[in-house]
């Protein structure tokens, strides 16, 4: 069975602070996919990043960076110099490797950036 744990339910930071959102996953698959999605207050779900299990390179996209560590089954998301527009609920998700690749979502972390 697959499981995604986002232990941080809510985080508040002051604008321009850095913040890291934690994601820990469980799977028996050797090949799998990890995702992060953003859900701003308007409610839509926006895809941010996909990572394959065989690619442990960290990734940086502007103020966003992702740290994937298979040894600790973690896929953490860091926002540098946070902005008010980063306020949202962030979901980590895990996709299986076979067949349809059912995606299991974590319960989300609500980030509030205070001006």
User: Which residues lie near other proteins (CB under 8 A)?
Assistant: 4, 9, 33, 35, 37, 43-47, 50, 91, 95, 97, 99-103, 105-108
CB of residue 98 to other proteins, shortest distance in Å: 8
CB of residue 20 to other proteins, shortest distance in Å: 19
66, 52 contact by CB (below 8 A):
no
Between residues 64 and 105, which has the closer beta carbon with respect to other proteins?
A: 105
Between residues 10 and 15, which has the closer beta carbon with respect to other proteins?
A: 10
CB of residue 17 to other proteins, shortest distance in Å: 25
Terminal-residue alpha carbon distance, the chain? 41
């Amino acid at each position: 069975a697959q499981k995604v744990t986002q232990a941080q339910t809510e985080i508040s930071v002051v604008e321009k602070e850095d913040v890291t959102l934690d994601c820990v996953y469980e799977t028996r698959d050797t090949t799998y996919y990890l995702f992060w999605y953003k859900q701003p207050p308007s409610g839509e779900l926006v895809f941010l990043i996909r990572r394959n299990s065989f690619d442990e390179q960290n990734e940086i996209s502007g103020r966003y960076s992702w740290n994937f560590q298979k040894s600790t089954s973690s896929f953490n998301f860091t926002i540098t110099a946070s902005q008010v527009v980063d306020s949202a609920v962030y979901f980590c998700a895990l996709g299986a490797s076979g067949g349809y690749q059912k995606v299991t979502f974590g319960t989300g972390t609500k980030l509030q950036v205070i001006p």
